Amino acid sequence: MAALDLEEQEQLSAIKSWWNQWGNAITWLVIAVSAVIIGQQGWNWYQRDQSVKASAIYDVLQEAALGGDLKKTREAAAELTEHFPGTQYAALGALLSAKIHAENNDTQTARAQLEWVKDKAAEDVVRDLARLRLAYVLIEEQKFDDAAKLLDGKAEASLEARFLEARGDLHLMRDQRDEARAAYQAALTRIDESVKAGGDAARIAQQGIRSVVEIKLDAVGGKQ
């Protein structure tokens, strides 16, 4: 190899000097960036893998629920909440299992599963839905004070009318007809506001709820 001329030697010396000063830091930076990229790819794979596995368990849960198999429904819901809590299927599975158990008078299991969703679900609307359903379970058990606590406070916008309706139901169970009437009227007002803001789609979605609330309002004396 031909000997390096003076200029090339000076360039090589400068490069070596620069590398001695900064090379170690750059190496670690490259390693760190690579680790982040690999970690992100691994996390994405893990998330997909968890979702696929949870989906299969949720299918088992749905089948068991449709068949009225409470034990299998309960076990599938427990597997989702214990091993796949970060997936949407855990909250959906617990909600479905709670519904089936409540319908079969196992309110203890229903309450436990609704509590999990209320505390652990990722989406506000899902947590509020669990709070609403749990309040109804407590109303059925005549635990009115506990139900009232769950119904207090702000709810996700799409559920505001349902929360007002539930407050009306709670007042009615307590034989507080005036308060029940006011709550039902407020629920109807909120439904109308939602329909105006959302158009035809909102009107269709709220139509069934409105009919039920109107029946309840008529039962306590109608609008005043």
**Per-residue pLDDT tens over the stretch 109-128:** 999 999 999 999 989 999 99
Alpha-carbon dihedral 172, 178, 182, 185, rounded to 10 degrees: 80
Tell me whether residue 13 is exposed, middle or buried, using C-beta atoms within 10 angstroms of its C-beta: 0 to 12, 13 to 18, 19 or more: exposed
pLDDT value for 1: 44
183 in Cβ contact with 153 (< 8 Å): no
| pLDDT tens per residue across span 155-200 | 998 899 999 999 999 999 999 999 999 999 999 999 888 877 666 6
